[in-house]
Chain A
Amino acid sequence: MSDLKAPVAVDSDGSEAIQRTGVDSRPAATREEALELYEIQHTVDMIRSGGYTRVALQFPDELLADSSLVSTLLQNSLPDVCLCTLADTSLGSCCVDEVAASHNGADLIVHYGRTCLSLTSRIPVFYVFGREPIDTMDCVEKMPKGDVLVVCDAPYMYKIGEIAGGLRRRGVGSVVESRFDVPGVYVPGAEKRRPGRVWDLEGRPLSEYNILFVGQESLTLTNILLTQRCRTVFSYDPLKRVLREETMANRHLARRYHMVQRARDADTIGIIVGTQATGYLGLIEALKTLLRRARKKFYVFTVGKLNVAKLANFPEINAYVLVACPENSIVDSKEFFAPVVTPYELLLAVSQREWSGDYVTDFGALLSEIENTSVVEDDDVPHYSLITGKLMQRRHVDAQGSGGEREEESTSLVVGVDREIVRYLGSAGAEYLLSRSFRGLGHDGAEEEEQTEPMVAVEGKSGIARAYAREPRD
Chain B
Amino acid sequence: MVNFNTGQIHDLMSKVDNIRNISVIAHVDHGKSTVIDCLATEVSTILPAKAGGGRYMDTHADEQERGITIKSTVIPMYFKLSDDQMEDISTKEHGNGFLINLVNSPGHAELSSEVTAALRITDGALVIVDAITGMSVQTETMFHQALSELVKPVVMINRIDHAMLKAEFSQEKLYQSFARVVENVNFSISAYQGEEATGNPIVSPELGTVAFGSALHGWAFTLRQFAVRYSKQFGINRTKIIEKLWGENYFNATTKEWSTKSADTSGNRQDRAFNMLVLDPIYKIYELAMNSRKDEALAFAAKLDIALTSEERDTTSKALLKVIMHKFLPAAEALMEMICIHLPSPKKAQLYRCDYLYEGPTDDESATGIRNCDPNGPLMFYVSKLLPASDMRRFYAFGRVFSGTVSPGMRVRIQGPDYVPGNRKDLHIKPIQRTVFMVGRGVTDLDHCSAGNIVSLVGIDQFLLKSGTLTTSDTAHNMKTIKFSVSPVMQVAVGVQDPKNLPNLLEGLKRLSRSDPCIHVSVSESGEYTIAGAGELYLEACLSDLENDYARVPIIINCPVVNYYETVQATSSLTCMSKSANKHNRIYMQAAPISDELTKAIEEEEINPHGDAKERARRMANDFEWDSNEARKIWCFAPDDKGPNILVNSTAGIQYLDEIKDMCCGGLQAAAHSGPCAGEKIRGCRFNIMDVVLHADSIHRGNAQIMPTMRAVIYASMLSAKPTLQEPVYLVDVQCPSSLNTSICSVFSHRRGQVIEVNTHSSSMCNVKAYLPVAESFGFTAYLRSATAGQAFPQMVFDHWSTMNGDVTDPADKINAICRAIRKRKGVGENVPTYGKYHEL
Where the two chains meet, the residues of A that have a C-beta atom closer than 8 Å to any C-beta of B are 249-251, 253-259, 261, 308-313, 315, 334, 337, 354-358, 380-382, 384, 386-387, 389-391, 393, 436-438, 452, 455, 458, 460-461, 465-466, 468, 474
Contacts and interface: CB of A to CB of B under 8 A. Distances in A.
Nearest to A358: B500
B598 interface: no
Contacts of B841: 474
Contacts of B523: 258, 261, 386-387
B662 A384 contact: no
Interface string B463-504: 111000000000000000000000000000001011111110
Nearest to A250: B499
Given A254-B495, A465-B695, A437 B703 contact: no
B702 A438 contact: no
Nearest to B660: A438
Interface of B: 416, 418, 425-426, 428, 462-465, 495, 497-503, 506, 509-510, 513-514, 520-523, 525-529, 581-584, 653, 655, 658-659, 661-662, 693, 695-696, 699, 702-705, 707, 841
B702 A390 contact: no
B703 A312 contact: yes
Contacts of B510: 384, 386
Contact of B428 (A250, A358, A380, A460): A380
Nearest to B703: A312
Contacts of B513: 384, 386, 389
B720 to A, nearest CB: 15
6 contacts: A257-B506, A381-B463, A382-B428, A386-B506, A386-B513, A386-B523
Given A384-B465, A436-B662, A257 B522 contact: no
A255 B707 contact: no
Nearest to B636: A437
B584 A253 contact: no
Contact of A355 (B464, B502, B704): B502
A334 B525 contact: yes
* Shortest 9 CB-CB contacts between residues of A and residues of B: A357-B500, A312-B704, A258-B527, A254-B527, A309-B704, A255-B527, A253-B499, A312-B703, A357-B499
A357 B504 CA distance: 11
A92 B523 CA distance: 31
Contacts of A465: 583-584, 695
A337 B662 contact: no
Given A251-B526, A256-B527, A258-B523, A357 B502 contact: yes
**Residue of B418, B653, B662, B703 contacting most chain A CB atoms (<10 Å):** B703
B509 A386 contact: yes
A387 B655 CA distance: 36
Main secondary structure of the interface of B (DSSP, over half): mixed
B299 to A, nearest CB: 67
A251 B520 CA distance: 22
A313 B526 contact: no
Contacts of B426: 391, 393
Nearest to A336: B704
A309 B581 CA distance: 9
Nearest to B702: A313
B482 to A, nearest CB: 16
Nearest to A381: B462
Contact of B655 (A259, A382, A438, A460): A460
Nearest to A380: B428
Contact of B704 (A337, A356, A386, A438): A337
A389 B583 CA distance: 36
Contact of A257 (B416, B463, B502, B653): B502
Nearest to A388: B640
B415 to A, nearest CB: 12
A254 B465 CA distance: 25
Nearest to B521: A386
A257 B527 contact: yes
A408 B115 CA distance: 41
B661 A251 contact: no
Contacts of B495: 250, 254
Contact of B702 (A312, A458, A460, A461): A312
A438 B525 contact: no
B418 A390 contact: yes
B63 to A, nearest CB: 23
Contacts of A390: 418, 465
A357 B498 contact: yes
A385 B105 CA distance: 27
A220 B298 CA distance: 90
Contacts of B463: 381-382, 391
A457 to B, nearest CB: 10
Contacts of B655: 455, 460
A384 B527 contact: no
B474 to A, nearest CB: 10
Nearest to A461: B693
Contacts of B527: 251, 254-259
Contacts of A437: 658, 661-662
Contacts of B509: 386
Given A257-B502, A438-B659, 13 more contacts: A253-B499, A254-B495, A257-B503, A311-B704, A313-B699, A313-B704, A337-B703, A357-B500, A386-B513, A389-B521, A391-B464, A455-B655, A461-B693
A313 B495 CA distance: 35
Given A308-B704, A357-B500, A254 B526 contact: yes
Contacts of B498: 250, 357
Contacts of A334: 525
A468 B577 CA distance: 14
B704 to A, nearest CB: 3
Nearest to A356: B500
A354 B503 contact: yes
Contact of B661 (A257, A389, A438): A438
A160 B3 CA distance: 79
B705 A309 contact: yes
Contacts of A312: 702-704, 707
Contacts of A452: 658
Contacts of A259: 527
B462 A455 contact: no
**Residue of B463, B523, B529, B653 contacting most chain A CB atoms (<10 Å):** B523
A263 to B, nearest CB: 13
A386 B520 CA distance: 9
A163 B509 CA distance: 46
A356 B584 CA distance: 47
Given A309-B704, A390-B418, A438 B499 contact: no
Contacts of B425: 393
B70 to A, nearest CB: 21
**Residue of B425, B502, B520 contacting most chain A CB atoms (<10 Å):** B502
Contacts of B418: 390
A253 B499 CA distance: 7
A357 B506 CA distance: 13
Nearest to A378: B462
Nearest to A226: B499
B693 to A, nearest CB: 6
Contacts of B582: 309
**Residue of B503, B520, B527, B661 contacting most chain A CB atoms (<10 Å):** B527
Contacts of A355: 500, 502-503
Contacts of A354: 503
B413 to A, nearest CB: 13
Contacts of A257: 499, 502-503, 506, 527
Contacts of A474: 841
B521 A258 contact: no
A411 to B, nearest CB: 15
Nearest to A339: B525
A285 B393 CA distance: 36
Nearest to B663: A315
**Residue of A251, A313, A380, A465 contacting most chain B CB atoms (<10 Å):** A465
Contact of A315 (B428, B528, B703): B703
Contacts of B703: 312-313, 315, 337
A387 B530 CA distance: 11
